Structure 1
Amino acid sequence: MKFSVVVANYNNGKYLPALIESVQKQTYANWELIIADDCSTDNSLEIIASFLNDERIRLVSHKQNQGAGAAFRTATENATGELIGLLGADDALPPNAIAEMVNAHLAYPQASFIYSTHFECDSELQVIDEKGFFGQAIPEGKSQIHQIYATNFATFKKQAYLKTSGFNPKLKRAVDQDLFLKLEEVGQVVFVDKPLYYYRRHSAGISQEGNSEKARMFHIMAMYDAYQRRKKIGFINLSKDEMRYYLRYYCLYQAEHNLPEGILKRLSYLLKDLYFIPTDIKRKEFWQVLGKILRFYQGQTIIKKGHIIP
């Protein structure tokens, strides 16, 4: 059974040697590595090229930058394995990762999606925690939409993937969580309670504070798409009130933090918040965000009139 490792890369050149070498060191031999490069401007292409003498490694390059969702979609479309595993461009795999996942998929032929726990690592990929908060079995009657149970090492059957709409090319972040929700809807989900992934923490990583909040916004978008799908197919879902809570959070965040957006766009997010939760008009947070928007644009008007900004 062939196993495809798919990677979406953008300017992660300094991490790629460790990633590629970790795949080459797998105890399971029947694998391929597909790297979709999303118009990197660093030395990524040169580094990948230095490994292409290994016929199991393939590079697919985008002609223009399209984001992580599109890159993972491209890599997966080019994968020829029956099984596929997701690998972050700054992460790596322990030697037994693929072998363990192949065995799990053989043991659970009805599983669409199988995932494990991971090693938490520092910026040099040195293990600092064998089992972090993430990575646990989904309780009976619950779903990935209620809480992030599944993370790395995430693997799925290509046949199951083709039953979904696949990676969302419009998402810049949370592309894996969006796919996990889709895979959950088409088959059994299995948890392997072993650390089979090296997750690297560093200053530019998604886990860092600013990036984490942005990722959360894309995650809420994925949750809303899943909520709408699941209403139609009758799958385990959020309640209407639960979904409204997340949409309120999304709207307030967009209104407060998207300063480059026009004032009408930002005010529209506040109006959407009131549509979802009408009682928010009584909340202090609502008026604080409105005040911040008005003060920002009042300041912009004063600056422009003073010819500080042409």
Structure 2
Amino acid sequence: MIKFSILIANYNNGKYFKECYDSIIAQEYENWEAVILDDASTDDSVSVIKNIIGADSRFRFFENTKNSGVGITKSKLIELSTGDICGFVDPDDAVTPTAVSSSIKNFQNKEVVLTYSIFMKCNEHLQPLSAFKTRQVKNNDPYFFNFPIQIAHFVCFKRNIYLQTEKMNTAMKIAEDQDLYLKMYEKGKVKFINEVNYLYRFHSEGISQNDNKSKSYEYFAQVIFNAMKRRKLEKINGRKIPDQYTNSKEIYDLLEYQHSISYRIKKKIIIFAQQIFG
């Protein structure tokens, strides 16, 4: 039976963890572990989380000796996990009861290396606001860079395939997830699950929701540039890719053509054909 590792990187979010915990133990799929790594929180997160998980052996709790940042923490979590499939859940968010089981079903297709679904934007009390609109992306496309973002929560991936990549680039900090997604994309098929499987909490202390957003945009451009070089691309839509990374605008300008109506129509046709014919 496939084992699923739920990976939780925590920093000062203990006060939100109970709802995350409740959503995990409510999973329809039973063969899972939850691996939690606290990144040297300065609040009472450690005691709060330890008290909530108690002696439940399905939860494994670890602590960084010093604050290392979300990229390093998430990278460590993958190394600490023992499951066949991994999926990150932020401690201030939650998953729906069928989140793990619906992902596992799609990994029955041996070519699938990553799944993603719809996430529900919620207020600070985790009450639903609106769903993030996304859809199946085009597979096997060297010019796919998840820009604009389509692959998003709840992202699950094969651990053994991840270990065959260059692994997560922790220097990318707030865009480390995008770095992971693009590296996995290059290893096989990604599959969109047309279900709301993730509840994303908006609150003032959220890492990706404050002043870090502009920094994330900059790091994402570097992730895209690295992917271009990794794929040995020399041109994008007839325009030369720079030899060295200089600024985000230069990279995003190369992808501007992907916003055109003609490109989008062509992409939809190809995606439809991939879904029909595999």
**Which structure shows the bigger proportion of residues in helix conformation?**
1
Which shows bigger deviation, 213-222 or 151-160?
213-222
- The CA deviation at 1:240 is 7.6
Q: What does residue 262 of structure 1 align with?
A: none
| Change in 2 beyond 3 A, CA 1:157/1:237 | farther
**What's the Cα RMSD here?**
2.5
Q: What does residue 101 of structure 1 align with?
A: 103
Q: What does residue 254 of structure 1 align with?
A: none
Q: In 1, distance between residues paired with 2:247 and 2:238?
A: 14
**Which structure shows the bigger proportion of residues in strand conformation?**
2
Q: In 2, distance between residues paired with 1:139 and 1:155?
A: 18
Q: TM-score, normalised by structure 1?
A: 0.73
Q: What does residue 165 of structure 1 align with?
A: 166
- The CA deviation at 1:205 is 2.1
- The CA deviation at 1:146 is 4.0
Matched, 1:57 2:33: no
* Kept after mapping to 1: 8 A contact 2:174/2:208: no
Q: TM-score, normalised by structure 2?
A: 0.81
Match of 1:85 among 72, 84, 87: 87
**5+ residue gaps in structure 1?**
252-272, 278-310
Deviations 1:187-226 (A, max 9, x none): 1111111110001111122453522211111111211211
* Kept after mapping to 2: 8 A contact 1:67/1:171: no
| Change in 2 beyond 3 A, CA 1:212/1:33 | same
| Change in 2 beyond 3 A, CA 1:242/1:199 | farther
Q: In 1, distance between residues paired with 2:63 and 2:236?
A: 38
* Kept after mapping to 1: 8 A contact 2:145/2:224: no
Q: What does residue 13 of structure 1 align with?
A: 14
Q: What does residue 112 of structure 1 align with?
A: 113
Spell out the pairing of 1:148-159 with structure 2 (5 A cutoff). Answer: 148-159=149-160
Q: In 1, distance between residues paired with 2:76 and 2:137?
A: 29
Higher relative contact order (CA 8 A, sep 6+): 2
> Aligned pair count?
247
Q: In 1, distance between residues paired with 2:221 and 2:58?
A: 36
Spell out the pairing of 1:130-279 with structure 2 (5 A cutoff). Answer: 131-133=131-133, 135-139=134-138, 141=141, 143-208=144-209, 210-231=211-232, 238=236, 241=239, 249-250=247-248
Larger radius of gyration: 1
* Kept after mapping to 2: 8 A contact 1:145/1:238: no
Q: Percent identity?
A: 33
Q: In 2, distance between residues paired with 1:205 and 1:93?
A: 17
